[in-house]
Amino acid sequence: MSKTIKIAKERQDYLFKELSSLLEALASPVRLKIIHFLSQAPHSVEQLSIKLGQSIANTSMHLKKMQREKILKTESLGQKRIYSLAQDEMKEFWEQIQNFAYSHNSSNVISSSEIYNEDFKWHKDLEETIKMIKARKLTLLDVRPHDEIDDIDSTYKKYVLHIPFENLKKLMDSLPTSRPILIICRGRLCVMSNESAFQLRKLGFDVYKFDFSWYQISKKLIEV
């Protein structure tokens, strides 16, 4: 073996160990949920602990492990530390993980048919749906909580009606009835989108769940 090949192989071994360490930092249901929430917006440890159903101490432990691997970054806001994804590429990585999980096994999805005995899924593809959104043939309804919404996103303001899940019933009069309603949330693993579709269908709305996240939708909407 030549000296250069030996050096390259040593470097390769090192990089495989680094990749293994990085993936290990993600290999936990709790830490994947953290990615799930932080891909929407930055959160404090207190916000995350509530959404995760974990203690602040346990949530902090997971956050520190991810921060050591430079998956997360923090900034101070008053006395609070706000956590966010260190790189935007992690959002794309998270979407691809979900896509792979689904293609690997199509049962890796929250099925409305199994839970509600009714199919809420929107069956048109993303490209066709984007055309319908731009043509105002659909109402795009986001049911995420306020702390996951970017209030300065002009594309979002142009195309999306935002009503948090907990406010749906009291604000349903503001929903249009002349065109289908497409519910978005945190993507295919969000539980609120199916429940929102279920509640609104009971009230007579023509409503569907869209598996794509706002991150995926917005990229297509801003393409020229």
Give me 52's structure tokens. 């995760």
3-state secondary structure of 160: strand
The closest alpha carbon to 161, from 199, 179, 66, belongs to 179
For residue 2, which of 57, 189, 117, 10 has the smallest C-alpha distance? 10
Burial degree of 174 (CB within 10 A; 0-12, 13-18, 19+):
exposed
Give the model's pLDDT for residue 169.
Answer: 87
Q: Render each residue's pLDDT in the chain as its tens digit; 224 residues.
A: 799 999 999 999 999 999 999 999 999 999 999 999 999 999 999 999 999 999 999 999 999 999 999 999 999 988 889 999 999 999 999 999 999 999 999 899 898 999 999 999 999 999 999 999 999 999 999 999 999 998 788 999 999 999 999 999 888 888 988 999 999 999 999 999 999 999 999 999 999 999 999 999 999 998 74
Pick the closest to residue 154 from 216, 217, 222 (CA basis).
222
- Structural domains for the chain: 3-90 (1.10.10.10), 109-221 (3.40.250.10)
What is the pTM for the complete model shown?
A: 0.90
Query: According to the model, what pLDDT value does residue 176 have?
Result: 86
Considering Cα of 51, then 57, then 62, then 67, what sign does the dihedral take? positive
